[in-house]
Amino acid sequence: MSFEPNDAAYPGAYDDAIWRELTFPAGYANPEPRARYHIVVLGAGTAGLITAIGAAGLGARVALIEHKAMGGDCLNIGCVPSKALLEFTRRSGGAGSFDAGFEWLRKVRADISRVDSVERYTRSGVDVFLGSAEFVDDTTVEVGEQRLSARRIVLATGARAAVPPIPGLAACEPLTNETLFDLREPPASLAILGAGAVGCEMAQAFVRLGIEVQLFEMAERVLPLEEEEASAVVAQALARDGVALHLNAPVLRISGDQFGVTVHSADVRVSADKILVAAGRRANIEGLKLNVVGVDTVAGLVKVDGRLRTSNPRIYAAGDVCSRTQFTHNADAQARIVIQNALFAPTASTDRLIIPHCTYTDPEVAHVGRSKMELRRELVEFDVYRVEFGDLDRSRTQGDTEGFVEILTAKGGDKILGATIVGHDAGEQIAGLCIAMSHHIGLGGLGKVVLPYPTRAEYLRRLADSYRRTRLTPRTKRIMARWFRWSA
């Protein structure tokens, strides 16, 4: 996330200057700390920002510490730039250039950064400190030469891309999401390690910019944690766009020279100009001196209970630093729980949160709840209800019939256990099912909702009708037949 003020030789340089000044302003002087804060928040990503501004809005004295850039991964090197680039390539139909795409993402990032800016948070009553923090004790943290004291401290330092220990990889200085959007010139070709959400999204974006893309995945399919049918649709879309897929292909080593890098797997050797690692994340816990305050970690994450308390009751955590479900919306939800529990009675819990996710390929894949694989592993019996978008009139009028909706319910009932949507705007379409699951509305209940026609949301009525038909058992049909004979 570097910017040289006098370098205007790349598209979007002006927007980058605005973005940097808003999120980590040059010459910013940290305020004089107050005698004691209600909350000190470490990290200004989604979890930290929501915690800080929410608590300040309630009247609490709040300090927010950030060592890199306000907005965290989502704004600076994650959701915002990646989704802006994906939307550009979708709208341009594969005819857009690298320069135009990156100029667009930088413009969008600069525009959205105003919401997460130092100026906005200081104006909202939050004392913003820029610099690295470490614990002195469980009520005190140090930023540079300043010490901040608080009743409660919240860890929201997020996570970063993990670079796997593949021989030769580190020496080749691979791209990660932290450096990908700093590119000023298009690579001639790109090898991507990992076909999870980030790998698939960036493979499609870059191939649509005219760049040769090779995608490596050690599992047997792309998006290996999604339903198999969803993975198959995305794999077909990637191949159709020109991405070369190397599945069931663990990378053994990487070699490099002045001409680029070479990826060596068991069955293939591929050369590329650049290599992008999209193979997991690691919590940012180094340098905080967690041992000083007795904050435990497990599997590289800060250990928390259902109320997001760490092993030290004065210290809470939220977001990617303590969660395996590393999504912006999950960090947002956890921050709201931390506000309640850190400032007032600790009664709010993560136990009943319904956390969906979406992969923003074209078509998109959205999921909420449990998958068929998880239910089978848990020995839970279930029914499957499915509708193809090609059967919906709205999809036909749009000429975009790819994809499906699949809902899993408790065996013999209408309780929704999980759902997957593959298709145009799947992330938008999953919202209704998230509401239903959060409020314990069954599939039959959804069928009572009147929806506009024609819309893709009609899938709800179609699936509810399918469920209702299962209620017409042979016995029910016999009773109905007798009724109609009697009432004739």
CATH, residue 121: 3.50.50.60
Q: How far apart are CA 13 and CA 5, in angstroms?
A: 9
Residues 448, 383: one domain? yes
Domain, as residue range, for 430: 363-470
Helix axes 13-23, 98-112, angle to 10 degrees: 30
356 occurs within a structural domain: no
Q: Is residue 213 part of a domain?
A: yes
Sequence-separated (6 or more) residues with CB below 8 Å from residue 23: 69, 70, 71, 75, 76, 113, 116, 117, 118
Q: Are 89 and 117 in contact (CB under 8 A)?
A: no
- 84, 150: one domain: yes
| 3-class DSSP state of 384 | strand
Answer yes or no: are the C-beta atoms of 369 and 440 closer than 8 Å: no
Cβ(402)–Cβ(430) below 8 Å: no
Alpha carbons 85 and 100: distance in angstroms, whole number: 10
Does residue 286 share a domain with residue 254?
Answer: no
Question: First vs last Cα of the chain: how many Å apart?
Answer: 77
In sequence order, what are the residues at sequence separation of 6 or more whose Cβ sits closer than 8 angstroms to the Cβ of residue 94? Answer: 208, 210, 241
- Residue 441: CATH number of its domain: 3.30.390.30
Max Cα separation, the chain? 90
Beta pairing, strands 416-423 & 364-369 = antiparallel
Q: How would you classify the pairing of strands 260-265 and 251-257?
A: antiparallel
The answer to whether 401 touches 395, Cβ cutoff 8 Å, is yes
Backbone angles phi, psi at 413, to 5 degrees: -135, -175
Residues 222 and 149 in one domain: no
For every one of its 488 residues, what pLDDT tens digit does the chain have, with 9 covering 90 and above? 443 444 567 999 999 999 999 999 999 999 999 999 999 999 999 999 999 999 999 999 999 999 999 999 999 999 999 999 999 999 998 888 999 999 999 999 999 999 999 999 999 999 999 999 999 999 999 999 999 999 999 999 999 999 999 999 999 999 999 999 999 999 999 999 999 999 999 999 999 999 999 999 999 999 999 999 999 999 999 999 999 999 999 999 999 988 899 999 988 999 999 999 999 999 999 999 999 999 999 999 999 999 999 999 999 999 999 999 999 999 999 999 999 999 999 999 999 999 999 999 999 999 999 999 999 999 999 999 999 999 999 999 999 999 999 999 999 999 999 999 999 999 999 999 999 999 999 999 999 999 999 999 999 999 999 999 988 888 888 888 888 888 87
On the CB side of 359, CA atoms within 13 Å amount to 30
181 and 328, same domain (yes or no): no
Question: Does residue 485 form part of some domain?
Answer: no
Which amino acid is located at 3 in the chain? F
- Whole-number Å distance between alpha carbons of 316 and 321: 11
137 and 51 in a common domain: yes
Helix, coil or strand: residue 239 = helix
Q: Does 130 share its domain with 216?
A: no
Whole-Å CA distances, 211 to 9, 94, 95, 426: 22, 11, 12, 26
Looking at the structure of the chain, the number of domains it has is: 3
